[in-house]
Amino acid sequence: MLQRAWLHRGLLARLLWPLSLVYGSIAAARRMAYRRGWKTSHSVGVPVVVVGNVVAGGAGKTPVVMAVVRHLQARGLPVGVVSRGYGRRTQDGREVHADSNPRDVGDEPLLVHRTTGAPVVVDRDRVAAARRLLAAHPEVSLIVSDDGLQHLALRRDVEICVFDDRGAGNGWLLPAGPLRESWPRSCDIVLHTGDHPAFAGFTARRALADHAVGLDGGHVPLAELARRPNVIALAGIANPDRFFDMLRDRGIVPAQCIALPDHYDFDSWSRPSGGPYSLICTEKDAAKLWRVAPDALAVPLVFAPEPAFFAALDARL
């Protein structure tokens, strides 16, 4: 309900608007404290690229992080990634490994590490995360922060603001609208991850890979899945319907679509009865789902920002 209310300035949003003034005053005071030096932004000794958004909820930051990391790796730069590790059950700072439990490090940091091979450290304190990463991997010459646009304690060299098709929503701050901070605001690069950008910025192409991946690393062509009579699709991401629509665009019409909350941990998930059927999911869900459904197939996302985006990034580094 609240997500829908954030798209318009309707009754619910207007009722919440006075609270957004309080939120905005606190956020502005915090930014002023850093701007005037009352609070310190810490340099970690290497350039930092922050990928984040000013709207609450998923806007596609993690695919952007992976695309940026791969691009910088292709340039020969040793890159590391820091993240809060949203949704994990642990509170300490720690490095992510390929066999890490996603409940301990977060599903998105684990996906970033597995797909890019870059060292990843999770910590609520991004400065501490960056220092831990550099201590363990002194060869790293650039850090990408997954989220953290509002984590002003970490000094950054480049800010990438990510938006989906919601744009800035109704333009109001939380809780009357989706904005974590006022927009427009100064930002080095704006990237739209959706199909219908709400305002100026670079764009990207999103598509599913032509195959799904099993726990053993084997590939199953989507064309083959499209011929199977009973396919069940599930997604625990910010916008599950987008994944289901992309499957249909590739000719896969699921007999059942199961939409789950973002970062769903599958601890309380009950497998659908009946069968036989093929169970397919997103890459992000796979690490957790495979622990309870090892036969599930994950469909990778192919995310490709336009070349001009990378040119703009390179020019700022």
233 is in an annotated binding site: no
Is 135 annotated in a binding site? The answer is no
Q: Is residue 61 annotated as involved in ligand binding?
A: yes
* Cα 132 to Cα 60: distance, rounded to the nearest angstrom: 26
C-alpha to C-alpha distance for 247 and 254, rounded to whole angstroms: 8
10 labelled binding-site residue: no
CB 113 within 8 A of CB 120: yes
Q: Where are the beta strands (DSSP E) in 63-170?
A: 79-83, 94-96, 120-122, 142-146, 158-163
What angle in degrees, to the nearest 10, is found between the helix axes of 107-116 and 61-74? Answer: 20
Bridge-based pairing of strands 219-221 and 256-259 is unpaired
Please tell me whether 284 is known to bind a ligand.
Answer: no
**Cβ(64)–Cβ(305) below 8 Å:** yes
Closest CA to 274 of 214, 220, 229: 229
Closest CA to 119 of 100, 103, 104, 101: 100
Question: What does the alpha-carbon distance between residue 215 and residue 289 come to, in Å, rounded to a whole number?
Answer: 10
- Whether 56 has a binding-site annotation, put simply, is yes
CA distance 206 to 193: 7
Dist CA 187 CA 221 (whole Å): 40
60 marked ligand binding residue: yes
Amino acid, single-letter form, for residue 135: A
27 is in an annotated binding site: no
Torsion of CA 12, 17, 23, 26, to 10 degrees: 180
Strand-pairing partners, residue 233, are 257, 280
Whole-angstrom distance, CA of residue 249 vs CA of residue 245: 6
The amino acid sitting at 306 is E
β-pair type (94-96, 79-83): unpaired
Q: Which residues line the annotated binding site?
A: 55-62
Q: Which residues line the annotated binding site for ATP?
A: 55-62
